[in-house]
Chains A and B, each alone.
Chain A
Amino acid sequence: MTLETWLHEALGNYPTGVQRRLGGEYRTHLVDSVAAGRGGDPVQVLGDPQRVAQALKRSYLTRTEWDWWSGADKSLGFMPFLEGSIVLMAVFAPSHAPLPYAPLLMAVTLIMLLAVRRVLRDRPPGLRFLLSVSISVLLGGLNQLLALGLTWTPTVFNLSLGMLGLAVVLGMCFMFTLIYPRYRARAYQTQRLQQAGPL
C-alpha cells in the first residue's frame, strides 16, 4: 500500500483541515522512519488506516458531520420546513387544555421559541437546527404533559400516557446532556483545523 492510499483510507472521510494537519504529520513520520532505516511501508510503520480513522472520531467530525454542522450540506435546505413543522407542533401541543390555559401556554411557547431563535441566530446552521428542534420537542412534550395534567381524569390510559410523555422528555434531556457536549467539542476542534493554515 502506498502512503497516499493509506492516507486516503485513514483521513479520506475527514474535512480538508483535518486531512491537511494529520496528513502532514504522517508524511513527516514516514520520512523519519525511512531515514532511521526502518523502511517506508505505511502499514508496517503506521498500522491499520481504518483504526486510525476510527480513533480520530473521538476528536473530530467526519466530513459528512462537518458539512452538516457548517451548513455546507444540501439537505439543510429542507431543514427550515422540518424545523417549522416541529415548532408548530410545539406551539399547538397544549391546544386541548381548558381555557384560559390553552392560549396562554401557546403564546408563552411561541415567545420562548422566538427568543431561542434570536439567541441562536449567529450559531452554525447545524447547531442552530439541532438546538431549535430539541428545544421545540422538549417544550412540546412539556406542553402535552401540562395539558394532560389540566384535563386530568385518573384512568389507566391517562396514567400510562403521562408516564410515557415524562419518560420521553427525561430521555431527551439525558441524551442531549450526554451526546451534545461531545459533538460540539469535536465540531469546534474541527473548525480550529479548518481555519488553520497548512503544516
Chain B
Amino acid sequence: MPIYTLTMKSQEQLRMLILAVLERQPEHGYAIAQAIKARSEGLLTAKEGTLYPVLHALENEGQIQSQETEVAGRVRREYRLTEKGQKEVARLRGDWKRQISAVGAVLGGEV
C-alpha cells in the first residue's frame, strides 16, 4: 500500500518523474507508470488515468514525442524524450537537488 499518492497538486513532480523515466529509454504509458512505482519501491504512485493528460501536455510542449509501434500484435503509443526534454530533465533535476539540499540544511541530521 503506497504511503504517498501523487495528486493533482503534485503535477510538476509527475512531469519530472515521467521525463526521468523516458531519459533512460522510450516507453509506453503503462510501462512509465510501472517504472515510477518500481523505481520508488512502491512509495510513489499515481492514479494512472492522470498520467496521459501530463504525457499529452509534455508532448504538446515539445518535451517528448510519440509514435505508434506494434508490439506482439498490439498497437501501442511509445513516448520518447526530445532534445528539449533532455535539457528540461537536467534543469528539473538540478532544481530538485537544490530543494532537497535546502530542506536538509534546515532539518539538520541525516536526510
- A residues near B, CB below 8 A? 10, 22, 24-26, 28-29, 31-33, 36, 45-49, 51-52, 54-56, 58-60, 185, 189, 199
Contacts and interface: CB of A to CB of B under 8 A. Distances in A.
Interface stretch (B16-24, B47-55, B82-90, B97-105): B47-55
Interface SS, B side: helix
| Interface size bracket, B side | 20 to 34
B29 A55 contact: no
A28 B74 contact: yes
10 contacts: A22-B56, A28-B28, A28-B77, A29-B30, A36-B34, A47-B50, A51-B50, A54-B8, A58-B57, A199-B68
Contacts of B68: 199
Contacts of A59: 53, 56-57, 60
A46 B49 CA distance: 4
Contacts of A36: 34
Contacts of B54: 55
Contacts of A48: 47, 49
B50 A25 contact: no
A60 B53 CA distance: 9
A51 B52 CA distance: 12
B60 A185 contact: yes
A195 to B, nearest CB: 15
A177 B29 CA distance: 34
Nearest to A49: B49
